[in-house]
Structure 1
Amino acid sequence: MVLLASTTYPLFRCLNSWLSPGGSTGSLSILIYHRVLPKPDPLFPDEVDAQRFDAQLNLLKNVFHILPLPEAVERLKNHVLPPRAACLTFDDGYADNASIALPLLKKHGVCATFFVASGYLNGGCMFNDRAIELVRQHPAESIDLRFLELGSLPLTTLAERKSALAILLQRLKYEAPEVRCDHLHHLETQLGVTPPSHLMMNDAQVVSLHQAGMSIGGHTVNHPILTSLPPAIARREIEQNHACLTRLLGSPPVLFAYPNGKFGQDYRQEHADMVREMGYSAALSTEPGIARGESDLFHLPRFTPWDRSLLRFSLRLSQNLWTHS
């Protein structure tokens, strides 16, 4: 790791300065994380763990000019981004953001923005994590999902469990939140699995991030796919989340991230308009790409750092700049 750093950081700084020179032709790379695990999870090998995140932060601070996202948005509007500008963001509000990510961010002197789905604070559990624990804890060699028209899926090997989980998540993702909850409750009761109550932050942890100089953004109450909701319910999700975070932090959040985040599929222009009307200054999608001065501030793209190899991570960051230049 040290050899990689000493030989490649200057090269990547030079390359990315050419791809992202700053000023009127500057661009902004926004990275999206969710969890930072204490150790790798076999069911989700691409999810970042503490050791990998530490290494990524060391690379990022040596290669990029990392900015707080609120500052970066203002610089983007005014065409005064520095060369190699980048920001870090976290979605959903996981407890390990406070317990694991925050100490590492402070160690490296890096700021990040945390988008919090407020309905899961203080002991809640998101639908995807409930599904993960169902598949992880189920002792049998198959899981009966016929009531979801998915048949009986094998669970004999790790690969089969990963496949079953992907199928279950895709089936539930675009259901209304209450329907997802009903389906998962049915499975949890049938299999005797209790959803975890420790995965998401509590109020005090959100406040601790804010007090440490991190920014907190809106992410709806229940993390629904906004296109699956009637407009009035979608607006309520955005408004109540904004009100909750304002009460918690003493000031309104200024940045928002759309749940799931694919334009047209997960949110539409009407939802971007709702976010704007709430007083947010910018909103982030999960569409790949980089932001430029002419970018719509309510459809800012992000980069997902899946790579387990630090070299591949570096190359893909540069490729993202090259592809979208």
Structure 2
Amino acid sequence: MRTGTRAVATVIRPVALARRTLATAHGLTIVGWHRVDGRTSDGLSTGVDDFRRHLDVLEEWGARVLPLEEAAARLQAGTLPDRAVALTFDDGYASVVDTAWPILRERGMATTLFVVSGILTGHRFAWDAHEPAHCLTGRLRPATAEELVAAAEEGLDIGSHTVSHPWLPALDDDALERELVDSRVVLEELLGRPVRSLAYPTGGWEPRVRAAADRAGYTVGITVDRGLNTGRVHPLSLRRAFVPSGAADLRHILDGAYTFLRPLDRWRSRGGPGW
């Protein structure tokens, strides 16, 4: 997190805390990571020690970590506990299954892994193509179908992250339907259970994309628009923040201090990937 942004959040934090205290209904905070691969944090990667510190912050803050679909349903019903949080991972890296998930299980924390279904047929993530070959078979390796099934049997929730991770607003209606429907069908056949949650790749969504997700059978959709989810937020465009490396930044997220960045998030999610 940039120093200037963090400084603004520090100033805003008391106001955000006051607003949260005065709220008449509890909200839901959704946070996310991509991979936890044993190295220092550098964007998509989160170091194991940093990840453990993030979970320490959640516990110290008094977070009530709930399974995502349960949390979304209770948000709409108005029955969330105070400080409700849902945890997520995007893409489908093996390090989530073999490193992050065991740590979360030890702490009794539920989580959802949004999987790009195309990786199950041997595809690799395009953004990792420049990495050395040993990284693509090591720390940057996608999870296999067998690993996902085993983790799901242990309680890891699996959601869809489309077939090929495209920028969804740019697709025509037929291509959009294929990305949303085919990924869900593949994952359901693999897991033997319904898949009803979706994370929009790179946070790209608009009303047309959200309507297509509804038609495709999803009940929960996750964006990268930061901020607290209230009962007024549509369940197919729930807000989420990715966790920076610093534990103090996660505390700012939990307290709502980075919500002032949401207009920028919305611009990015409608206009095209800006990162």
TM-score, normalised relative to structure 1: 0.69
Partner of 1:48: 46
> Quick one: which amino acid aligns to residue 268 of structure 1?
E
Q: CA separation in 1, counterparts of 2:120 and 2:23?
A: 39
Partner of 2:218: 280
Partner of 2:102: 103
Alignment counterpart, residue 58 of structure 1, candidates 39, 44, 56: 56
Other structure's SS at 1:245 match? helix
Partner of 1:304: 242
Q: CA deviation at 1:22?
A: 10
Q: CA deviation at 1:122?
A: 5.5
Task: After the TM superposition, list the runs of 4 or more consecutive aligned residues in structure 1 that deviate by more than 6 angstroms.
Answer: 15-18
- Cα 1:36/1:194, change in 2 over 3 Å: closer
**Which runs of 5 or more residues in structure 2 are unaligned?**
1-14, 262-275
C-alpha distance after superposition, 1:40-64 (max 9, x if no partner): 26xx267311111111112213321
Select the structure of larger CA radius of gyration: 1
1:289 and 2:227 aligned: yes
Q: CA deviation at 1:102?
A: 0.8
Q: CA separation in 1, counterparts of 2:259 and 2:208?
A: 31
Q: CA separation in 2, counterparts of 1:212 and 1:17?
A: 36
Partner of 1:187: none
Cα contact 1:34–1:94 (8 A) shared by 2: yes
C-alpha distance after superposition, 1:131-183 (max 9, x if no partner): 3x1xxx5xxxxxxxxxxxxxxxxxxxxxxxxxxxxxxxxxxxxxxxxxxxxxx
Q: CA deviation at 1:299?
A: 0.8
Partner of 2:207: 269
Cα contact 1:32–1:90 (8 A) shared by 2: yes
1:69 and 2:68 aligned: yes
Q: RMSD between aligned alpha carbons?
A: 2.7
Moved more, 31-40 or 117-126: 117-126
> Quick one: which amino acid aligns to residue 152 of structure 2?
H
Q: CA separation in 2, counterparts of 1:246 and 1:315?
A: 36
Other structure's SS at 1:291 match? coil
1:317 and 2:254 aligned: yes
Partner of 1:196: 136
Q: CA separation in 2, counterparts of 1:222 and 1:81?
A: 34
C-alpha distance after superposition, 1:212-237 (max 9, x if no partner): 21211111100011122221011111
Other structure's SS at 1:288 match? coil
Cα contact 2:252–2:258 (8 A) shared by 1: no
Partner of 1:119: 118
TM-score, normalised relative to structure 2: 0.81
- Cα 1:322/1:19, change in 2 over 3 Å: farther
Partner of 1:27: 27
Q: CA separation in 2, counterparts of 1:21 and 1:87?
A: 20
Cα contact 1:258–1:283 (8 A) shared by 2: yes
Partner of 1:148: none
C-alpha distance after superposition, 1:62-101 (max 9, x if no partner): 3211111111011101011111111100011001010111
- Cα 1:195/1:222, change in 2 over 3 Å: farther
Q: CA separation in 2, counterparts of 1:75 and 1:22?
A: 20
Other structure's SS at 2:46 match? coil
Alignment of structure 1 residues 34-183 onto 2, 5 Å: 34-40=34-40, 44=42, 47-63=45-61, 64-121=63-120, 123-131=122-130, 133=131, 137=132
Q: CA separation in 1, counterparts of 2:22 and 2:69?
A: 17
Cα contact 2:226–2:258 (8 A) shared by 1: no
Q: CA deviation at 1:301?
A: 0.8
Q: CA deviation at 1:36?
A: 0.6
Q: CA separation in 1, counterparts of 2:80 and 2:258?
A: 15
- Cα 1:194/1:316, change in 2 over 3 Å: closer
What percent identity do the matched residue pairs reach? 28
Other structure's SS at 1:234 match? helix
**Which runs of 5 or more residues in structure 1 are unaligned?**
1-14, 138-192
Q: CA deviation at 1:269?
A: 1.5
- Cα 1:213/1:195, change in 2 over 3 Å: closer
Aligned residues: 246
Other structure's SS at 1:292 match? coil
Other structure's SS at 1:30 match? strand
